A and B are shown apart, each in its own frame.
Chain A
């Protein structure tokens, strides 16, 4: 083929139907190999993640029991030492302050947080989780995990951080 008949370097050559089919086949092959690698490494792992378990990881947390601002206020009035506030909000809300005495916790760091702050987590205390809003699964996730660790009295603050701010309950600087 002569140079004159060749497409110029700047002219795009549209993919033909057969090229599209080849691309699709290769893409499916790549995905299949990658999925096989994922399933194989999970199966060979020392702690494989359970698959096809409706109650396993990846199950939506059940909505945790709620506590209203007025109820929390009453609890704080009668037994302030019996309550541990847990700050489960996202990082960008930290600048707005935090519930007084709150311990910072996320679902990802829960196990490590429990280990580091164990003395605070007295099983007799009421654990109150404050999340970004009422549509914040992190709060329910933490509540579910804490109950699985044996903490019987865990509640999620109803309405989340906006409701907390409006409740008149104490706000302090970012938790340590």
Chain B
């Protein structure tokens, strides 16, 4: 197994695992998650409710695909898009001085948003882009027909 394959595998396992955990932890606390989304003060209640019901499943499915190595590139782009959207939400909340909890992992730890949240999302975004970038290289090594 080459160094690049090991890196690809580690990134997929770490990011995919984190996404599966993030999605799973929200499945039983949808009302709490809807309130957490509302606290960002970006969307109307109706959209918060739809996001609270659907977003955990998007995280769960995309994360599982990354862990399993199936449809890796599309799954990585979904995670990258999610992380970019989360970073915008967190960034605007920090800029407005909102004292809210992240809501990243269900009922979570109760910690407030901070630059560390933004840093974590940036790291996840970079990992997702790296996975998507590494995926075509695997295809290049595949034997030609």
**A contacts, CB < 8 Å to B:** 1, 6-7, 9, 11-15, 19, 23-24, 26-27, 29-31, 33-35, 37-39, 41-42, 49-61, 90-92, 106-108, 131-133, 135-138, 141, 160
Contact = CB atoms under 8 A, between A and B. Distances in A.
B15 interface: no
B111 A135 contact: no
Interface residues of B, number: 55
B144 interface: yes
Interface string B132-145: 01001101110011
B34 A92 contact: no
User: Chain B contact residues: over half helix, strand or loop, or mixed?
Assistant: helix
B30 A37 contact: no
User: Chain A contact residues: over half helix, strand or loop, or mixed?
Assistant: loop
A75 B104 CA distance: 39
Given A27-B78, A30-B75, A39-B54, A133 B111 contact: no
Nearest to A161: B99
Tell me which of B55, B77, B99 has the highest count of chain A C-beta atoms within 10 A of its own C-beta. B99
A31 B58 contact: yes
B38 interface: yes
